[in-house]
């Protein structure tokens, strides 16, 4: 079992103490957007899914349905992914800002499932992060030579 606390865990613990603290929110979401996550993927053999439509080299992230919602699973360490899956699984590494920019509603996120630092991201929270990423990209584009 994974017992090492990551920097993202520490920021989440502070955020949980005072969810209204703007500095704690800023730190947590900044870390989230700049963390590279391990996202489990569906292999061609799983459940006989029709994977013929995928382009060569493409991957399909594993999406889990729970309580009537679909969740993309994100893990901040490979060890946490393996512990959750109870086996070695296929995955892709994706930065948080890329996850945010490419998530379409109503998909939600489940971070570090099976740990005391798990967090569920709701549609509104994801939309806000997606907007933050878009604003940052626009600002970076304006300042480019």
Q: pLDDT tens-digit profile of 17-67? A: 988 899 999 999 999 999 999 999 987 555 455 555 555 567 899 999 999
Provide the H-helix boundaries in the chain. Answer: 7-17, 22-34, 78-85, 96-102, 123-143
For the whole prediction, is pTM greater than 0.75? yes
Q: Which domains does the chain have, with CATH numbers?
A: 36-143 (3.40.1350)
28, 99 Cβ separation under 8 angstroms: no
Within 10 A of 4 (CB to CB), how many other CB atoms are there?
A: 8
Report how far apart, in Å, the C-alpha atoms of 38 and of each of 46, 65, 89 are. 19, 19, 10
Residues 6+ apart with CB under 8 A from 19: 25
How are beta strands 60-61 and 69-74 bridged, if at all? unpaired
- Residue 111, SS3? strand
Is residue 2 pLDDT above 50, yes or no?
no
């Amino acid at each position: 079992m994974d017992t090492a606390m990551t920097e993202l865990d520490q920021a989440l613990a502070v955020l949980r103490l005072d969810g209204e603290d703007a500095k704690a929110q800023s730190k947590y979401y900044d870390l989230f957007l700049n963390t590279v996550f391990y996202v489990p993927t569906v292999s061609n053999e799983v459940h006989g899914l029709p994977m013929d439509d995928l382009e060569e080299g493409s991957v399909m992230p594993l999406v889990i349905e729970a309580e009537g919602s679909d969740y993309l699973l994100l893990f901040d360490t490979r060890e946490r992914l393996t512990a959750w899956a109870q086996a070695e699984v296929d995955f892709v590494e994706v930065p948080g800002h890329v996850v945010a920019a490419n998530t379409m509603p109503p998909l939600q996120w489940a971070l570090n499932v099976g740990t005391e630092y798990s967090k569920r991201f709701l549609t509104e929270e994801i939309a806000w992060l997606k907007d933050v990423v878009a604003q940052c990209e626009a600002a970076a584009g304006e300042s480019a030579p």
